[in-house]
């Protein structure tokens, strides 16, 4: 058989398989998806290779380009024999089933994109490993523009320094989190790994529990038998009890707010009959239902950062008393709070909202808001002292999902005499691609604007780094609240609440610029102040993250007499951001806006300034 001359030119060095997707904005790069086979045709340098893959859009043709070698692994060395390109069939390697943490546990077939033994096409394992993989990627110097002041910049502009002087802000070195030195207590000799309830799909169990007939709820024994007898594994039995209790028992707001909760009937039989309780009743009912099913469950009493708590408050009073449950499951101690799993209090009302975070929760997470009276019920070694507990950051549940790491923080209270503070945190769950906002609740004033900047360099764990800038208007104290906004819309709950104490006078206070909600992630570097001086030249510097195609940014006055587009001076594909810069002469008084031009040439606001 004769050899095609193209094959002689395209003889590959070896074949490689993509470990993850690679999609770049550079026109000379080879794009591919995880699992695709690439024929490596050349080596540019120690970081970059050249290769080709079949073009699925046009059969018989091939795509060529450069790619970082860290995204692939060699699967086959090619020597004297090779395949003809004309005979080549596209080879798509299907990912093997993702492995769960190294532990056997019963799983229900997943329909929520969570790992299960029956979900062959799930790529959760790849996503979970992505932060570690990205942290190992060497610095790529192929076409990356440096963001330093010495970098080569487009259009001859140089990136300006920030409009604010960070040295004027109170900054904090990270205090070691006391929980980081702890380990969960394990009693099994052949322990296989820590349990994570979030990877298990409990849909079938939850539906079964919620559809329990009223006739099966007449007694503790009858209800327990109905909920648990159909399941073989204790995990499912516990889940059925948790779901039924959280779905059918309402919080007794009247007893709680009247201070009569100690006198309320919180026995399991009473709670089952009246269908309401404070935390002691939730804990008691869960215990009795589990006991009837011969499950290893017990009650725990203590104090918690719950309803009415504000960051920095003392929780030793009886109003912060709380009750929950413990369970021994396959050699480790886990915690269940069916009160907080049922919902939360808001403006004196109970808001029913199922929260599975508090089912089989790790002691390493529970300790941030739950302090048992008996330290042994922390199930941590070493234990956390009461003083350490009070100084822990006030974390909400979503902090753990987003992998929040406090890089420059100050415990639960931040103090300053400068009228300004700066805090930093890292977001390590890279599959969560939303953005953050914050506000300052200050005495006698409405919520004040706080700047949250996404920084262009990664955090210490390879995650996304954010800086919070907070200007304080007067002497006194207040609370800083940080929010998470999922990409695609909607506002998440508070993630972190921080008490702020200012010993200064407020003389250094300047109001931050007003910003608007937009459909992509933008970070204003300059200017940050709400009021700008008339007839001056101001340098605007803006970073836009992860938006393709890149939007057009512009600055304009309210009457639209002056409109100036900002220019791209830096494009960093590794960190996936673009920097815009423009020197704008503020030649009119009144409102000015930073905005972006949409595909249909409609202009939307990003921020609003007063020029005076």
- pLDDT tens digits, 107-127: 333 333 333 333 334 444 433
DSSP assigned state of 413:
E
Q: What is the pTM of this model?
A: 0.69
Helices (H), 64-202: 124-135
- Asked if pLDDT for residue 253 goes beyond 90, the answer is no
Say if residues 454 and 521 touch (Cβ distance below 8 Å): yes
Given phi > 0 = left and psi -120 to 50 = alpha, else beta, which region is 535? left
228 pLDDT band, cuts 50/70/90, is: very high
Q: What angle do CA 500, 502, 508 make, to 5 degrees?
A: 120
Instruction: Give the range among 56-65, 295-304, 510-519, 535-544 with minimum mean pLDDT.
Output: 56-65
Higher model confidence: residue 187 or residue 31? 187
- What are the backbone angles phi and psi of residue 425, rounded to the nearest 5°? -145, 160
Enumerate residues 6+ apart whose C-beta is below 8 A from 68. Answer: 22, 47, 48, 49, 137, 140
- pLDDT tens digits, 409-464: 888 889 999 999 999 999 998 877 788 999 999 987 878 999 999 999 999 989 99
- pLDDT tens digits, 124-156: 443 344 344 334 333 322 222 233 333 334 444
Q: What is the H or E stretch that residue 578 is in? A: strand 577-585
The span from the CA of 262 to the CA of 122, in Å, is 49
Burial class (CB in 10 A: 0-12, 13-18, 19+), 317: exposed
For range 216-234, the mean pLDDT:
96
Domains (ranges, CATH) in the chain? 5-77 (2.30.30.40), 171-176+402-515 (2.60.40.10), 179-391 (3.10.620), 527-611 (2.60.40.10)
Task: Kindly state the tokens that stand for 158.
Answer: 């140089």
- pLDDT tens digits, 488-499: 666 666 788 899
Paired sense of beta strands 72-77 and 514-515, if any = unpaired
In 3-state terms, what secondary structure has residue 255? helix
Q: What is the DSSP string of 533-559?
A: -TT-EEEEEEEEES-SSPPEEEEEETT
């Amino acid at each position: 058989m004769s050899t095609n001359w193209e094959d002689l030119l395209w003889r590959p060095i070896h074949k490689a398989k993509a470990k993850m997707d690679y999609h770049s904005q550079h026109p000379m790069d080879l794009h591919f998806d995880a699992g695709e086979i690439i024929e490596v045709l050349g080596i540019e340098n120690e970081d970059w290779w050249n290769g080709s893959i079949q073009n699925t859009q046009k059969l018989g043709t091939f795509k060529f380009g450069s790619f970082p070698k860290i995204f692939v692994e060699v699967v086959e060395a090619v020597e004297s024999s090779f395949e003809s390109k004309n005979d080549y069939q596209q080879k798509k390697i299907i990912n093997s089933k993702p492995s769960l943490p190294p532990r056997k546990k019963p799983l229900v077939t997943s329909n929520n994109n969570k790992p299960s033994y029956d979900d062959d096409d799930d790529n959760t394992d790849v996503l979970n490993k992505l932060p570690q993989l990205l942290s190992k990627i060497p610095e790529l110097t192929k076409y990356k523009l440096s963001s330093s002041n010495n970098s080569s910049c487009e259009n001859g502009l140089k990136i300006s320094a920030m409009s604010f002087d960070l040295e004027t802000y109170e900054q904090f070195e990270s205090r070691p989190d006391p929980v980081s030195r702890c380990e969960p207590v394990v009693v099994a000799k052949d322990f296989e790994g820590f349990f994570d309830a979030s990877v298990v799909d409990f849909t079938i169990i939850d539906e079964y529990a919620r559809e329990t007939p009223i006739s099966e709820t007449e007694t503790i024994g009858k209800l327990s038998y109905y909920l648990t007898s159909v399941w073989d594994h204790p995990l499912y039995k516990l889940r059925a009890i948790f779901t039924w209790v959280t779905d059918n028992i309402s919080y007794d707001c009247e007893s709680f707010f009247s201070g009569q909760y100690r006198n309320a009937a919180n026995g399991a039989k009473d709670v089952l009959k009246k269908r309401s309780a404070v935390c002691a009743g939730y804990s008691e009912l869960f215990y009795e239902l589990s006991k009837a099913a011969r499950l290893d469950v017990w009650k725990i009493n203590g104090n918690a950062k719950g309803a009415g708590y504000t960051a920095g408050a003392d929780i030793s009073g009886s109003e912060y008393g709380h009750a929950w449950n413990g369970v021994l499951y396959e050699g480790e101690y886990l915690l269940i709070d069916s009160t907080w799993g049922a919902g939360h209090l808001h403006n004196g009302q109970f808001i029913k909202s199922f929260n599975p975070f508090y089912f089989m929760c790790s002691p390493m997470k529970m300790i941030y808001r739950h302090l048992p009276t008996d330290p042994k019920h922390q199930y941590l070694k070493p234990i956390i002292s009461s003083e350490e507990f009070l100084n822990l950051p006030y974390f909400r549940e979503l902090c753990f999902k987003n992998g929040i790491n406090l890089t420059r923080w100050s415990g639960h209270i931040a103090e300053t005499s400068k009228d300004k503070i700066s805090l930093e945190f890292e977001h390590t769950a890279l599959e969560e691609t939303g953005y953050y906002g914050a506000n300052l609740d200050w005495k006698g004033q409405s919520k004040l604007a706080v700047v949250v900047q996404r920084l262009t360099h990664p955090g210490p764990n390879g995650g996304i780094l954010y800086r919070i800038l907070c200007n304080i208007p007067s002497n006194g104290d207040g609370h800083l609240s940080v929010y998470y906004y999922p990409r695609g819309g909607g506002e998440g709950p508070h993630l972190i609440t921080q008490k702020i104490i200012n010993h200064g006078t407020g003389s250094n206070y300047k109001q931050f610029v007003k910003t608007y909600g937009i459909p992509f992630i933008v970070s204003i570097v300059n200017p940050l102040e709400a009021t700008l001086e008339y007839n001056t030249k101001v340098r605007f510097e803006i970073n836009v993250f992860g938006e393709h195609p890149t939007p057009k940014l512009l600055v304009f006055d309210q009457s639209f007499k002056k409109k100036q587009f900002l220019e791209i001076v830096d494009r960093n594909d590794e960190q996936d951001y673009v920097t815009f810069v423009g020197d704008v002469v503020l030649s009119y008084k009144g409102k000015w806006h930073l905005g972006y031009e949409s595909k249909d040439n409609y202009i939307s606001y990003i921020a609003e300034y007063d020029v005076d």
